[in-house]
Homo-oligomer: A and B are copies of this chain.
Amino acid sequence: MSAPSTAVTSLASADLPMPVPAEEYDRCPVTDVVRLMSDKWSMIVLVLLGRRPHRFNELQRGIDGISHRMLTRTLRGLESSGLVHRRVHATVPPRVEYALTPLGESLLEPLSGLADWAVRNWPEITAARSRVPVS
C-alpha cells in the first residue's frame, strides 16, 4: 500500500544492458556476497561476533557440531574477505581473538533486513513448498 521505497527502486530499476551479459554473473558483487554467506557456518559466526569478540575455543563451544577444521576454514574465509579480524594480544601466552572489522559490522544491518524478512515469511515459504509441485 505504501509507495515503493528507494531501496526497491534501486534494485528493480537499475540500468542493465539487455540482454544481461554473461560476465555479470561471474563477477556480480551481490551474488558473491550472498554466496559468501550461504555456506553452513558463516552466518552464525558473523552473528556471534556481532555481539562481541570471541576466542577460537569460545566460538567452537558456542556452535554445536562445528569441527576445529570447519571453524578454521570459516574464519579464514571471513578474514580473507575483510569481514573478520584476527587480533593477537601481546600477553603470555598470546591471546587470540576474532572480531568483526568495521566492514563486517556494516554488513549486519542489511543482513538483518534479510533475516527479518526470512523469519517473517518463513510460514508462507514452507506452505508454498508443501503444495502440489507445479507441473
Contact = CB atoms under 8 A, between A and B. Distances in A.
Interface of A: 5, 7-8, 10-14, 16, 18-22, 24-25, 28-35, 37-38, 40-41, 43-44, 47-48, 50-51, 61-65, 76, 79-82, 86, 103, 106-119, 121-122, 124-125, 127-129, 133-134
Contacts of A114: 30, 33-34, 110-111, 113-114
A50 to B, nearest CB: 4
A122 to B, nearest CB: 4
Nearest to A105: B8
A110 B116 contact: yes
Contact of A13 (B32, B51, B119): B51
Contacts of A31: 37-38, 40, 43
21 contacts: A7-B109, A7-B116, A10-B112, A10-B116, A11-B108, A12-B50, A14-B47, A20-B44, A20-B62, A25-B65, A33-B117, A34-B43, A34-B114, A80-B133, A81-B125, A82-B125, A82-B128, A103-B125, A109-B117, A110-B110, A114-B114
Contacts of A13: 51
